[in-house]
Amino acid sequence: MKRPKNKVDGWVVLDKPLGMGSTQAVGKVRWLFSAEKAGHGGTLDPLATGVLPIALGEATKTVPFIMDGRKEYRFTLRFGEARSTDDGEGEVIATSDVRPSDEAIRAVLGQFIGDVEQMPPAYSALKIGGQRAYDLARAGEAVKLKPRMVRIDRLELLARPDADHADFVVGCGKGTYIRSLGRDLAKALGTVGHLSALRRTAVGPFREEAAISLPKLETLGHIPPLLGALVPVATALDDIPALALTGTQADRLRHGQPVLLTRDAPPSGTLVRAETGSKLVALVRSDGVALQPVRVFNL
């Protein structure tokens, strides 16, 4: 017998465990909440842990804003071994006896800050001719990817556990592959390397301090206790200015109709979060005279 679906709207900031894929994590959270719809705000590899924002119900309409948000990671780079996957899962494909000093590491970090050209890993979810790159790579086929420009705002050496390992923190934009960053950083230091650990600590407004583990969610067990773990839908839109509307104006937006503004209209092209009381009604775009609905929320 199928469980009845619930209308559940909000974000779960999951602390994804090691070894679980993002799709599997979303499925588990959706099942726990018996939610009608679910999605996530940015893939995490199975060998990575940390912040995986999972959207339920109406929150799925705000996923693109989280995908575009700034991300932060902590990672450990293992020097001396290059691997096919650029992390600990793959086969060793090259070795080196070179172990850089802390001073040498700090001297090259500036090369990786700003707009940086990066070659994605062969084992990635990018599509080539309709197929995932990692599927082609696992089948032994040559994977031809194109370099892309990514944005890295922060890259710092945190610690040096031993000569073989170095711990870093990185703040970056959409589409940055930390495995590629580790590989390229080792190369710039005259050696080879791969990521031996990766943890995402922030995605947009969602940070690891507020993340909840899967065992904790399972302990909550059922609704209503589970609803206490939800973060409001509007959290994903924190960077977008809010505009208070009357109940009548809100009803027009809910029916997909524009709202005329006689004064205080935002500049043309501005994206605004339309609210009535404390309730999110819609994302709207101003044309200088009226607010045109872009996304309407059923909350």
Sequence-separated (6 or more) residues with CB below 8 Å from residue 299:
9, 58, 233, 279, 280, 281
List 45, 86, 87, 184, catalytic entry? 45
Quote the pLDDT of residue 180.
95
Contact predicate 182/86, CB 8 Å? yes
Quote the pLDDT of residue 130.
66
Mean pLDDT (the chain, rounded): 90
Which helix (H) or strand (E) is 127 found in, with range?
A: strand 127-128
pLDDT in tens, 65-101: 999 999 999 999 999 999 999 999 889 999 999 999 9
Quote the pLDDT of residue 288.
81
pLDDT in tens, 230-257: 999 999 999 999 988 899 999 999 999 9
Domain architecture of the chain: domains with CATH = 10-69+205-236 (3.30.2350.10), 71-196 (3.30.2350.10), 240-296 (2.30.130.10)
Quote the pLDDT of residue 287.
86
In the structure encoding, which two tokens stand for residue 250, read together?
């809100």
Find tokens 């892309």 and name the residue.
148
Quote the pLDDT of residue 126.
63
Quote the pLDDT of residue 139.
58
Pairing, β 48-56 against β 165-172 = unpaired
What are the phi and psi torsion angles at 298 (to 5°)?
-100, 75
The segments of the chain whose pLDDT lies below 50 read none
Quote the pLDDT of residue 123.
63
Quote the pLDDT of residue 226.
84
Quote the pLDDT of residue 144.
73
* Burial of residue 6 (number of CB atoms within 10 Å: 0-12, 13-18, 19+): middle
What whole-number distance in Å separates Cα of residue 42 and Cα of residue 242? 25
Quote the pLDDT of residue 277.
86
Is 45 catalytic? The answer is yes
Quote the pLDDT of residue 147.
87
Nearest to 51 by CA among 205, 167, 206, 195: 206
Quote the pLDDT of residue 141.
67
Quote the pLDDT of residue 128.
65
